[in-house]
Amino acid sequence: TARRNSPGNTFEIGAMSGGEKAVLSGNTYGGSVKYKVGAKNTSTTFAGTISDGNGKTHLIKTGTGTLTLTGTNTYSGNTTVENGKLVVDGSLKPSDVPTITVSSTARLGGKGEVTGNVTLLNGGARIELSDGEIGSLTINGNLELGDNSAIVLDIGDTVDQIIIKDGTLNRIGDVTISLNKINMPYDGTHIIISGAKLGSTQGFSLEESDFLKTAQLCVVDGDLAIKIKQTGTLSILR
């Protein structure tokens, strides 16, 4: 258990790892506490719990490495991915709806569940689910995609998926969808973003790949999808 009690409100952790029984929390005279994690530029896994103290706990991911969270985290402060990658394979389940902000040099990934409004800033921020296994990231809140942001997914028998619950998708500018092949994908229509509530694919583009003969983004009942036809003629859904 790590707990900070001090008159300051920012605690820098060069690298953070821990098992399922580990707890990161903190009390300060000012109430809230910020943990800035990752300056050593290493990749680590924290399987424990990040929670609030006498005020809200905020998490800032910095450095070029990857921080993977596999536990059930209950802190209700904001999450900022300044650099590197934050992977949520467990959950972020606060009692309210904070913000999760991904900067232009950073990535958000994982096959877990986050509660909060997720924002990808302009200029290169990414949601990157590609890890060699098909799965989904659930967002309980809104998803805002900044200009020149990207979504990177694995594709095989099916495709990685972002699931938006209790929220909406807001696209600020151009967004690129990139696909990483696990095995040769089947023909058919595969949902990429569920709960998107889209009317068209405007602003979204599919990065060219050498393993898809014919593919096209489309909208199915408001969800963003990819329609694949490896042979014959492609019929595009709108």
State the pTM of this model: 0.91
pLDDT tens digit sequence for 98-135: 999 999 999 999 999 999 999 999 999 999 999 999 99
By percentage, how much of the chain surpasses pLDDT 70? 91
Q: How far apart are CA 55 and CA 168, in angstroms?
A: 29
Q: How confident is the model at residue 96 (pLDDT cuts 50, 70, 90)?
A: confident
Q: Is residue 206 part of a domain?
A: no
Q: Which domain holds residue 176?
A: 2-184
Place of tokens 């008159």: 7
Residue 163 lies in a domain: yes
pLDDT digits (tens, 9 = 90+) for 200-217: 999 999 998 877 778 899
**218 in the Ramachandran plot: left (φ > 0), alpha (ψ -120 to 50) or beta?**
beta
* Angle formed at CA 180 by CA 145 and CA 142, multiple of 5 degrees: 20
Give domain status of residue 230, yes or no: no
Q: Is residue 233 part of a domain?
A: no
Average pLDDT over residues 38-49: 98
Answer yes or no: is 211 within a domain.
no
Provide the pLDDT for residue 208: 86
Q: Which two tokens stand for residue 204?
A: 């979204």
Domain tally, the chain: 1
Contacts of 210 (CB under 8 A, 6+ apart): none
φ/ψ of 106, rounded to 5, equals -125, 170
- d(CA 174, CA 119) in angstroms, rounded, equals 14
- C-alpha dist (Å) from residue 118 to 6, 66, 100: 30, 18, 5
Residue type, 25: S
Give the model's pLDDT for residue 233. 47
Residue 164 near residue 132, CB atoms below 8 Å: no
Task: Confirm whether 199 is domain-assigned.
Answer: no
Measured distance CA(130)–CA(109) in Å, rounded = 8
For residue 213, what are the β-bridge partners? none
* Residue 212 within any structural domain of the chain: no
How many other C-beta atoms lie within 10 A of the C-beta of residue 218?
A: 20
Q: Which residue is listed with tokens 């023909």?
A: 187
Instruction: Tell me if 17 is assigned to some domain.
Output: yes
The average confidence (pLDDT) of the chain is 91
Q: Do the strands 33-37 and 10-13 form a parallel or antiparallel pair, or are they unpaired?
A: parallel
* Span 75-83, average pLDDT: 97
| Inter-residue contact 129 to 109 (CB < 8 Å) | yes
Distance CA 98, CA 78 (A): 5
Residues linked to residue 28 through DSSP beta bridges, in sequence order: 6, 31
